[in-house]
A and B are shown apart, each in its own frame.
Chain A
Amino acid sequence: MGLWDSYRMRVRRKRRLVRALRKSAELSCLQDNTRAIQPSDVLLVCTMRNEQIRLPYFLEYYRKLGINHFLFVDNDSDDDTVAYLQGMDDVSLWQAKASYRRAHYGVDWMNYLKRKYAHGHWVLVVDPDELFIYPFCDTRPIQALTDWLDSSAIRSFSAMLIDTYPKGRLSETPYHAGQNPLEIANWFDSGNYTISKNPMYGNLWIQGGPRARVFFADAPRNAPALNKIPLVKWDRRYAYVSSTHALLPRGLNQVYETDGGEKASGALLHTKFLDTLGIKAQEELARSEHYANSREYKAYAKALEQQPELWCKWSEKYINWRQLEILGLMSKGNWA
């Protein structure tokens, strides 16, 4: 990478930060508990819309993992999201009524909040349908991981998105609030992921899984990106550039080993494929607020009419992180 490239990236990063600041005008604070944040706290930042049904389990899961404070952006929900979160001591809540798409799918809002509140903290950025797992997550809290990353001088941690889905039709088993979504959507694809390197930001570009297999078999290039770097020791100079797929400065995207070894990595179990997806797809289609003109939701809406089955004979049933590590989807690296 030449000097010119570095300069370009620097300008791009600064523009992102300025943009985040400008877009922060769209945020109105509904509940500010940020004064309770302690210096060593691990934070979680999340943007959502009409996800009230998922929140009870989401909060339970991440509190148990050791998240100390939640920073939520509610994008104009018309369900009970806001009322539900109000009064929780470890939750700070903002509302944005403006366009999700024009805020770079929420990235601008969240970049702003992280710049303001997460400087010097480990921060996890996930969607409400994503469950973060990492090596030893069943026996060690997230602070064990972040302490280890700190002592290894690692600033960012990769967790690939793994789509989970139920056996049978989506509408067959309704999801109810507070339930572990993995009780329903507990199957995944283990070995059909393609990887290439994105020369612009130096991150890996991973595609595949059931979404590529079922919805994008005719246009694999358009299949959603599954690479994510959701856990970062934040610095106010950092910025996510597209969802949590890539960051600037580019060094943060070097979460993979190129010299033959394995770095430690985790996974985000993506429990999108529940009975709730049908309504969601219709709604998002009407709003057209998602990436590439909601290309993904168009594909779902079309395929969902035919009630597709994502499950196949070669689907793996999810057991635990060790299974994912053996399958080669994540790695302990040198953490033991």
Chain B
Amino acid sequence: MADKNGFFDLSKTTLSRRTALKGIAAGAGLALAPGFVRYSQAQSSAPIRIGFQSHRTGIGAAYGRWYEKTSAAAVKAINDAGGISGRKVELVIEDDGTDPARGAEVVAKFAKQHKTDIVFGTLFSHVVIGSAPAAGENKIPYFVVSEGHHVASTKLNRYVFQPGITDVKSQIQSMAPWIAANAGKKVTQIFPDFAFGYDHRDYLPPALKAQGADVIAQIAIPPTESSFTKYFPQIPAETEVIYHVMVGPAVLTFVKELGEFYGSQRPQLFGFIDSLEAVDINSPGLEFLDGSHFWEGSPRYAQADDSAAQKAYRAAVGIDDNGAAVGDPKDVSTAAHMFGCWETLYVVKKAMEDAGYKGPEDRAKLVEATEALKEFAEGPEHPQGPKTFNGKIHQCFGIQNISKVEGGKLKVVHKTKIEDGLYEPEGDYTTQAL
């Protein structure tokens, strides 16, 4: 076929000296643009800059938006109370597209171009795993709010921390006794086919075994899948409990199709709220969920016994009693996870103040100060509940909520204890060189 208009004629695009000069001039102009202005006064008055690796687009977008809201609220609260060591805090946000390769680029960009003090805020486990090496290479502390076991597995590196949310292995271990005792002994697992799902795949069977229950089938579903009915025939008929955890934009379809498949003749359901995070549990087609149970990190619905700290946190972030944005009941939050952003930022504040952190040259000191932390008391800085922190594996341990769907709301029916979720460390980050 003839190339009449010369679209593929490369010979047309020669670079003239004038064009080259224009390019250089534009580059110089960029370097002088506001973003590159350095603070000329003493470092101590410049704001602390936190690079926020956000899932603005891609399969994690719903989480990304609420992680940003929560972090912005926490930064405002910290700044209103005088900032960190008297310095204001500033979030620098970059979208990682919920993509591991892009995630690593974003971390490197924070370290080299934005020159932020730390990187923070990642949720999706494949992005964390993909980005962690970049944090290690650039020696920039990387505080994730991911829930995955990868940080605590000590397979990442010394610069990666998860001090704001309990990891999946611990969550499963602390909830397994309740599942075995209250839901059933024959469990079929449905989980997303990537890193976070593999934590569930690997840690649920031994945790249930210890309680005299068995996982009889494991069904992996790609997180980008858009129709799910085809997977359900793999659920064995003798299943007593379906343990489900899904992520991605199609979670509502997943739960709806599960309802169409089973109707009211369903096995017991125990789900991670991830399967319905940012989705209204009263959406049409979800009526069959009534009476089923969910894990929640922090409860979506306001509970009767909420602490003053929890109430203040909900007001600051801007969610109503149903866990939706104030003023827009359709905009349901990711309440079960996003508290981790709030708490992590307060951990960063504590560690920076302990370390006498001045700037990027003190990053190693910040790592050591974070590792020295032992526990976080429940209160305005940690509204989800008390936590302990293991500096060797860079992971915190807190309480978990098991909630029941009742009258279109999630009501907490069981809270685990911190001790229920403790396990033998699998390694020690502190032996690695800084």
B is bound to A:
no
Binding site for A on B (CB under 8 A): none
Interface residues of A (CB under 8 A from B): none
